[in-house]
Every structure is written in C-alpha cells, then in structure tokens.
Amino acid sequence: MSLVVQKFGGSSVANAERIHRAARRAIVAQEAGKRVIVVVSAMGDETDRLLELARQINANPSRRELDQLLATGEQVSIALMAMAIHQAGREATSLTGGQIEMRTNRAFGRARIREIAQRERIDKLLDGGHIVIVAGFQGIDEESNVTTLGRGGSDTTAVALAAALGADECEIYTDVDGIYTADPRIVPNARKLGEIAYDEMLELAALGAQVMHSRSIELANNYNVVVHVRSSFSDAKGTLIVKETQEMEKVVVRGAALKKNLARVSLLGAPVGGGLAAGVFAKVAEAGLVVDDIIQNVQHGDGTTNISFTTSADDIAEARSIAQALARELKFRAVEIDQEVAKISVVGIGMRSHTGVAAKMFDTLAAAGVVIENISTSEIVIGCIIRRADGDKALRAVHEAFHLDRDGTVGAG
Amino acid sequence: MSLVVQKFGGSSVANAERIHRAARRAIVAQEAGKRVIVVVSAMGDETDRLLELARQINANPSRRELDQLLATGEQVSIALMAMAIHQAGREATSLTGGQIEMRTNRAFGRARIREIAQRERIDKLLDGGHIVIVAGFQGIDEESNVTTLGRGGSDTTAVALAAALGADECEIYTDVDGIYTADPRIVPNARKLGEIAYDEMLELAALGAQVMHSRSIELANNYNVVVHVRSSFSDAKGTLIVKETQEMEKVVVRGAALKKNLARVSLLGAPVGGGLAAGVFAKVAEAGLVVDDIIQNVQHGDGTTNISFTTSADDIAEARSIAQALARELKFRAVEIDQEVAKISVVGIGMRSHTGVAAKMFDTLAAAGVVIENISTSEIVIGCIIRRADGDKALRAVHEAFHLDRDGTVGAG
C-alpha cells in the first residue's frame, strides 16, 4: 500500500474553509488506497501574531522561549485539521513534534533533525486506518525542549517523514502550481516544468525561487524522496523534484532566474598582500553577512587591488558598516556601495555535458544591450551581474534564446 | 530555602502589562530568598478563541483533539512569562505539562493527575537560580497524548506541584483578595478571613464560591498544602486555606453562602414501594444530572409519596425531561418544577463541638420573615431551602446573627 506525505503551508490552512479543503485532499488520497500523513504549518498570520505578542514582552526574546511559543501555531493547526477530517467521518490523529519524537539538535530557531523516534506509533495509526496529522516546523532536543527548524521548516518536516517512513511521494501544496522555467510575472510564456532534478532545484532556490527552502530539497536529495510541488487550489499535476536521469541531462538549460535585490560592496585600493581576500571574507562571515558572489578584481599598477562582493540589498546597512570597519583596519582607500545590481542566471544539469552555454548566454545579453559586469559559474549554473534596470529584459532574452518556452531537448549551439 | 508555587489565572496574564506585573511578583519572591515556581493559565479569552476555532471546524470535536488544541493556550502564556522574567534580567525556564511529565489518566477534558515524573528537572532548574514556569491545566497520558484537567485545572496543577515538591505555600492570585464570610456584593460588612480550614473551603466551593475549584482544595487537603488565595492587584495578605486546628474549632460559623441558581424538581404522588427513591436517583445520576439536595416528603394517606430534589437552574431543561420520563416509568401522578428557590447555608468546623447552631439559624430566618421550605445538614454545614426572593435578606440576617463581621470566637447560644 503506497504512502503519501501531504504538506499544507500557512495559506492553505488559513481559515476553516481552507482547512476543510485540505482535509478533503487527504481523504481523497486515502480513498484512492493510500496511507496518508499530513504535515501542516501554522494558520496564515498566526506566527506573526505570536511574534508580536513576544515583542510586546521582550524585544530580544530567548530563542528557547521563542520556540516554545511559536510551536503552538502548528499544534493549533494539527488539532483543527484532525477535527476537520473527523467532521468528514474519517479517523485522524494529530501528533506534535514532541509526540513523534522528532529529535533535533539544540539550535533553537534553526534546529537540525537527527531522527524520528516514534515511527512505529505513526505506522500503527496508519495501519488502523487513521490519517496522521503531524505538526511541521517543530522538534524536541534530547531534554524535550521544543525546537523549531527555521525557514521552510514544515517542508523539512514533510520530507523527513517521507524519508523516514519510505513514502512514495511528498506533496507540497502551495499557492503556486509548480516550478516554472522563469518567473511568469516577468516572462509571460514561462512554462511549468514536469520535473526538475534536485541539484537544479537547489540552484533555483539559491537564486531566490521561494517555492521550497534549500534544506528540504537537500534532505529530499539525500534520501531520494520524490517531491511534488503543486497547487492547493487545483487538482492539476505540479512539478516533480526528482533524482536526475540521463534523459534529463539532454535538456541543457532547465530554467532561468533573476535575483533582483542585490547590492555590490567594493573595497577599493587595498595594498596587495598575503591573505588579503581571506582576511576580508573571514570578517564578513564572522559578522554573519551572507555573501552572494565574490568578485575578483585585477591588480592596479600602483600595487593596490579592489575586492567586491554582492549581498542581499536588505542587509545593506549592516554590510556598509562591516565594509567601513574593514577599510579602516586593512587600509583600503575607500568603500563603494552599488545598490543597483541584479543577477541573471541559467540552471541545468545538461550543462555538464554540453558546451557553448556560456557563450550563447553572453551573446544573447550583448544582443539585448545588457552589459555584463561580472560572471560566476558552477557546474550547472552560469550567472551574470548586470544593472538592475536591465533585469527583466535580460531574463526574457535568455528565456527566448534557450527556447525555455518549449518542452524538449535543446542544444547550446 | 523555602519554596513557593505562585499561580496566575487568565485575567492575571491577559496582556503584556499584566504578565510583567506577575513576573515582578515572582522576582520579588525570589529576591526574598525563595525558590519560585510559577503556574499560569491561558491569557484572558484565549481558551474561548480556541474553542471558537474548533467550533468553526466541527460542532462536536473529539476530546483528544480539543485537549491538543486547548493546551496551546497555556504554552503561549509560559513562554511569554519566561520572556518577561528575562526582560527583568532574571533566569527563567518554561515547561509544558509534557515537559514536566505531568502524568494523568486518559480522561480527556477532565483528566486526573497520577504523578509528576520530572520533579528532578524542576529541582535542578531551581538549584540553578531559575524561576520555573509551568503550564497549568495540562498533562499527558502514558502515550504522551495531551490531556487537560477540566475546570479549575490550573489551580490543580499548582497544588499538585506544591505537594510533589514540598512547597511551603501555594499562592493563588485571583481578581478577589481572599475568601469572605459572605459575598460582599450582598453583605457590605462581610469580612475577609485570615484563614479557613480545607473542609470549610470545600463546603463553600460546593455552595458556589468561585474562588477555587473543589478538586484543587481536595488535593491540598490530601497533601496538606497551605494555599494562599490573594489578589493579583495588591500586596495585601489574602486568606490561607489550611489544615484545621483546635483554635479554629472555637469559631462555630466561618462563613455563610447563598446559592441562588437552584430549581426544585418534584415528582408527585408515586405509589410507595421498595427502593423507589433509589430507583429515581439511579436514573438521575445515569443521565449525568447533578443533584444538590434530596428532599424527603412524608407519605400521603392514599399510599403515595412525593420525591423532590434541587438542581442547578442552568440544567432545568434536562432535569424536566428526565423527570417526565421517570414519571411515566414509575407512575408518578405529576412533575412539578419550581425555579424560584435558593439555599442559604452556614459553614464551620466549630459546629462539630457546638450545639444550638441550627436553632439559632432557624430563629434568625423566622424573625426576618423567611420561610424555610427544607433543611439539609452535614457535620459542618446547615442549609435551608427558601424562596429566591428572600435570599439576600436571609444572607444578611444570618451574617448578622452569627456576628460574622467580627473576628474571633462566637458561641452559638
């Protein structure tokens, strides 16, 4: 008998009517002969409501107590979901992270799952015909302190359960109906993908695709869990995130992404010396700033060099103060901040076996009048830093050039 | 080093300002050299909010899932309380019913405590200088299902912790400042009691005093826990609920109570026969109706009898249908419902060793023009059924006659 894990995010359980709709999905799957585990997030704005309560009490709450507080959001959802399934005349039992003994480390707010100790309890309930409802986002450490898994935590819970119990599929219900070749708001003929490889999805997530958090995709990859991203609001098939196959490699570029909210921080005119870059990025990492790309600049004739990196534009105030401290300490001539940059990237596992992708991308951007300011590449990604004002134009041009609106295998040549 | 358990009800933690106030009380106690455990209820209307969410999903929710849902209310409160204590620069750790392993039976919604398995964890935190915040009202059964303790559950949690950890005192913070000789809204010169015996408090609770639920008083009595009922809004000493002493027995009447919301159900003209009353009250109990007093009527000359009992006026619809079914089955002539009755009672352990209390009470009521329709007595209570319209007058007369406005020992004579 096949097992499916269905995960419903906050917007899919935001009110009674949506909870009933999610309950019906679980029941339909059970009627189709499947064993069903449902993972739910906190209702709609519940997490924000709880954070606001905390903020009224303490501007800087302890992470342990914050997790104790936030975990109630999912506990409310699981109880209501079980009640909705009962209302439809089916058996269901809700279980918290503590009740399934979702054991994590003690990193409150960003805990890592170690094991699910009560798999037998879940199995027994499934054997008894129950739909089992599990609270997403939460676990417990070895002392039974409540932990939470951080951003995308409920996806991680769903994938971990699918892995631990050997589910055939982990369905992620969201407000989009799948993964697209590019953001359809910018590229009107963007196409929904039937399937995408874990590595490709990981790169797209890193490039800002909000659909699933990297951690849950990594976990799915590690345990070979088939993830099905689909819409809460329709029955259409969504996108399967799967292990790559030889067939999939025939597609050179799976998708294109535009990361708009970037800023470039440049440290100008540093005296060249041993370990300069290492020194800079050690300090940046220490300050907790997430660096997107590091830009290596050529050495000047006067024995100085420039070091640049891009970071989220949201963190620019922090980045500026770090850069200024570094400039003083390491005797850079000046700090320059450019908040008008973006990154256009193409992603595809097919790049490993195809050549000419980079050249085609550069030609395409040049033909569209887009100036490339920096290039970064990995095995399956080519990214170019460009002016933010050119972003939408660049994305449409690249999408067109690689024929992403069409299904099938397209060469690079 | 002395240990105190402080319990704050929903109105005492209804918003951020009140949570900070409760936190200060805990801190003051710690600064006075005490080890402090705090038990909290759900914030203000939180339980009602959760019940309304459940009602929107399922009109008749499973008790297990309702407990899973409702227990989140106290979990929110403990986290916020810990944050408030941290804000004041003190150490605090919140613990759910699950985390202290408050083991109960599986009677969801009205569970009974069996043991507190994690006493050592609490002790260790107290040793480390932490104020320990425990969620009231909730426990877990042997399978880690969440259970709740029913009405007055947080008081029960507080008393159980005080008993298990050998606290010197269990402070119950409420919106009244103690136990009074009578309801001050009816008797303006009612006096706050310095102390009251467990048995007296139990009788007053049964007579409608809302301050503490009978179960928590019984538990305090069983484990000899000193309970201090006091106001959240002042530092004045409240009322101590304690084991009775010989000194306390010198007071004949501790307090007087008026139970207003009573109704009398009479089954008229039943043929007298073996086990008639037993038959009636077995059926009444089976239907879950709570009987206040049973009134024995004299046998009529025609070989029939009347059986009456009083019950809460809130349950009158149910009482009527049960009585009508009984009348058909047992061939009573008629059913009569009187919704205009009340009960005036006096309570005092001193009655055991003093005579004349009943006579004085009857004289007092007669002098006030109050007709006594029935009398019920126990070792430490005398109660009279009267017209509801006479209730306030009767309470004031009895309060006056037994000099309850004055402290000290007053004879019955």
Chain segment B2-57, per-residue pLDDT in tens: 999 999 999 999 999 999 999 999 999 999 999 999 999 999 999 999 999 999 99
CA distance A373 to A292: 15
Mean pLDDT of the region B217-239: 95
Q: How many helices (H) and strands (E) does chain B have?
A: 12, 18
Residue partners of A384: CB distance under 8 A and separation at least 6: A343, A344, A345, A361, A362, A365, A372, A373, A374, A375, A376, A394
Q: Which residue of A has its CA nearest to B47?
A: A76
Chain A CB within 8 Å of residue B54 CB: yes
Cβ–Cβ below 8 Å for B50 and A76: yes
pLDDT at B412 (0 to 100): 41
How many angstroms separate the CA of residue B56 from the nearest CA in chain A?
6
CA distance B72 to B83: 17
Query: Maximum CA pair distance of chain B?
Result: 80
Residue partners of B85: CB distance under 8 A and separation at least 6: B23, B26, B27, B91, B92, B131, B133
- Rounded to 5 degrees, φ, ψ at A50 are -65, -40
Chain A CB within 8 Å of residue B98 CB: yes
Cβ atoms within 10 Å of A180's Cβ, excluding its own: 22
Cβ–Cβ below 8 Å for B80 and A98: no
Cβ atoms within 10 Å of A368's Cβ, excluding its own: 15
Chain A CB within 8 Å of residue B411 CB: no
Q: Where are the beta strands (DSSP E) in B224-360?
A: 227-231, 239-242, 255-271, 291-296, 304-312, 334-347
pLDDT at A198 (0 to 100): 96
Mean pLDDT of the region B172-193: 94
Mean pLDDT of the region B328-336: 87
Task: Answer whether A193's CB lies under 8 Å from A178's CB.
Answer: yes
Q: What percentage of chain B reaches a pLDDT higher than 90?
A: 72
Task: Answer whether A387's CB lies under 8 Å from A340's CB.
Answer: yes
- Neighboring chain A residues of B146 at a CB cutoff of 8 Å: 96
Cβ–Cβ below 8 Å for A93 and B66: no
Question: Is the model's pLDDT at B297 over the cut of 80?
Answer: no
How many angstroms separate the CA of residue A134 from the nearest CA in chain B?
12
Task: Answer whether A344's CB lies under 8 Å from A364's CB.
Answer: no
CA distance B157 to A177: 48
Chain B CB within 8 Å of residue A51 CB: no
- Give the pLDDT band of residue A171 (cuts 50, 70, 90): very high
Mean pLDDT of the region A79-83: 98
Task: Answer whether A289's CB lies under 8 Å from A273's CB.
Answer: no
Judging by DSSP bridges, how do beta strands A35-40 and A3-8 pair with one another?
parallel
CA distance B5 to B35: 9
- Neighboring chain B residues of A93 at a CB cutoff of 8 Å: 64
Mean pLDDT of the region B332-354: 92
| C-alpha A49 chain-centroid distance | 24
Task: Answer whether B227's CB lies under 8 Å from B161's CB.
Answer: no
Token pair in block for residue A276: 């300069």
- Sole residue written with tokens 């660049």: A394
Please state which of the ranges A138-142, A284-288, B132-136, B317-321 shows the lowest mean pLDDT.
A284-288
Burial of A127 (0-12, 13-18, 19+ CB in 10 A): exposed
Chain A CB within 8 Å of residue B106 CB: no
Cβ–Cβ below 8 Å for A144 and B64: no
pLDDT at A410 (0 to 100): 46
Helix (H, G, I), strand (E, B) or coil at A91: coil
Chain B CB within 8 Å of residue A102 CB: no
Query: Taking the CA of residue B28 as centre, how many other CA atoms within 13 Å lie in the half-sphere pointing to its CB?
Result: 8
Strand order in the sheet with A35-40: A92-95, A131-135, A35-40, A3-8, A169-174, A227-231, A239-242, A195-197
Residue type, A282: A
pLDDT at B208 (0 to 100): 75
Mean pLDDT of the region B237-245: 95
pLDDT at B1 (0 to 100): 83
- Report pLDDT digits (tens) over B350-361: 998 888 899 999
Residue partners of A138: CB distance under 8 A and separation at least 6: A67, A70, A71, A74, A96, A97, A98, A102, A146, A147, A148, A149, A153, A157
Chain A CB within 8 Å of residue B246 CB: no
pLDDT at A296 (0 to 100): 66
Chain A CB within 8 Å of residue B147 CB: no
Task: Answer whether A364's CB lies under 8 Å from A401's CB.
Answer: yes
Comparing CB atoms, the residue among A53, A72, A84 nearest residue B58 is A84
Q: What percentage of chain A reaches a pLDDT higher than 90?
A: 72
Q: What percentage of chain B reaches a pLDDT higher than 70?
A: 98
- Report pLDDT digits (tens) over A221-277: 999 999 999 998 899 999 999 999 888 888 899 999 999 989 999 888 877 776 777
Q: Which of B266, B164, B156 is nearest to B215 (CA)?
A: B156
CA distance B237 to B99: 33
**Average pLDDT along chain B:** 92
Cβ–Cβ below 8 Å for B56 and A16: yes
CA distance A157 to A81: 17
Comparing CB atoms, the residue among A65, A87, A143 nearest residue B83 is A65
pLDDT at B296 (0 to 100): 66
Cβ–Cβ below 8 Å for A62 and B83: yes
Residue partners of B292: CB distance under 8 A and separation at least 6: B259, B262, B309, B310, B311, B312, B343
Residue partners of A290: CB distance under 8 A and separation at least 6: A311, A312, A315
- Sole residue written with tokens 């569970």: B111
- Neighboring chain B residues of A62 at a CB cutoff of 8 Å: 82-83, 86
pLDDT at A298 (0 to 100): 66
pLDDT at A408 (0 to 100): 60
Cβ atoms within 10 Å of B5's Cβ, excluding its own: 29
- Give the pLDDT band of residue A412 (cuts 50, 70, 90): very low
Cβ–Cβ below 8 Å for B54 and A80: yes
Mean pLDDT of the region A158-187: 95
CA distance A10 to A133: 15
- Report pLDDT digits (tens) over A132-141: 999 999 999 9
- Neighboring chain B residues of A78 at a CB cutoff of 8 Å: 68
Q: What percentage of chain A reaches a pLDDT higher than 70?
A: 97
Q: Which of B174, B175, B178, B158 is nearest to B225 (CA)?
A: B158
Residue partners of A383: CB distance under 8 A and separation at least 6: A207, A293, A343, A344, A345, A375, A376, A377
**Average pLDDT along chain A:** 92
Cβ–Cβ below 8 Å for A83 and B96: no
3-state secondary structure A273-284: CCCHHHHHHHHH
Q: Residue B139 is inside which H or E element, if any?
A: strand B138-140
Q: Which of B149, B125, B161 is nearest to B215 (CA)?
A: B149
Comparing CB atoms, the residue among A75, A83, A143 nearest residue B57 is A83
Enter the ipTM: 0.87
pLDDT at B410 (0 to 100): 46
Q: What angle do CA B76, B78, B81 make, to 5 degrees?
A: 110
Residue type, A187: V
Task: Answer whether A323's CB lies under 8 Å from A337's CB.
Answer: yes
3-state secondary structure A97-116: CCCCCEEECCCCCCCCEEEE
How many angstroms separate the CA of residue A45 from the nearest CA in chain B?
14
Instruction: Name A192's bridge partners.
Output: A180
Residue partners of B188: CB distance under 8 A and separation at least 6: none
Q: Which residue of A has its CA nearest to B81?
A: A57
Comparing CB atoms, the residue among B69, B83, B96 nearest residue A79 is B69
Task: Answer whether A88's CB lies under 8 Å from A23's CB.
Answer: yes
pLDDT at B298 (0 to 100): 66
- Report pLDDT digits (tens) over A29-57: 999 999 999 999 999 999 999 999 999 99
- Sole residue written with tokens 């799976």: A254
How many angstroms separate the CA of residue A321 from the nearest CA in chain B?
28
Rounded to whole angstroms, what are the CA distances from B162 to B16, B222, B387?
A: 26, 12, 42
- Report pLDDT digits (tens) over B123-171: 999 999 999 999 999 999 999 999 999 988 999 999 999 999 999 999 9
Helix (H, G, I), strand (E, B) or coil at A28: helix
Q: Which residue of B has its CA nearest to A18?
A: B57
Residue partners of A32: CB distance under 8 A and separation at least 6: none
CA distance B195 to B407: 11
- In a mutational test of the A interface, the residue from B24, B45, B55, B62 whose CB has the highest number of chain A CBs within 10 Å is B62
Token pair in block for residue A177: 């109906």
- In a mutational test of the B interface, the residue from A51, A58, A118, A121 whose CB has the highest number of chain B CBs within 10 Å is A58
Question: Is the model's pLDDT at A367 over the cut of 50?
Answer: yes
Q: Which residue of B has its CA nearest to A20?
A: B57
Task: Answer whether A231's CB lies under 8 Å from A175's CB.
Answer: yes
Token pair in block for residue B172: 């119950």
How many angstroms separate the CA of residue A133 from the nearest CA in chain B?
11
CA distance A161 to A78: 15
Mean pLDDT of the region B204-233: 90
Chain B CB within 8 Å of residue A98 CB: yes
Q: Which residue of A has its CA nearest to B88?
A: A58
Helices (H), ranges, B331-404: 357-367, 391-401
Comparing CB atoms, the residue among A61, A82, A144 nearest residue B65 is A82
Question: Is the model's pLDDT at B83 over the cut of 80?
Answer: yes
pLDDT at B408 (0 to 100): 60
* DSSP states of B41-89: ---TTHHHHHHHHHHHH-SS--HHHHHHHHHHHHHHHHHHHHHHHHHTT
Instruction: Name B239's bridge partners.
Output: B229
Cβ–Cβ below 8 Å for A68 and B144: no
pLDDT at A226 (0 to 100): 97
pLDDT at A280 (0 to 100): 84
Cβ–Cβ below 8 Å for A19 and B69: no
Query: Taking the CA of residue B251 as centre, how many other CA atoms within 13 Å lie in the half-sphere pointing to its CB?
Result: 24
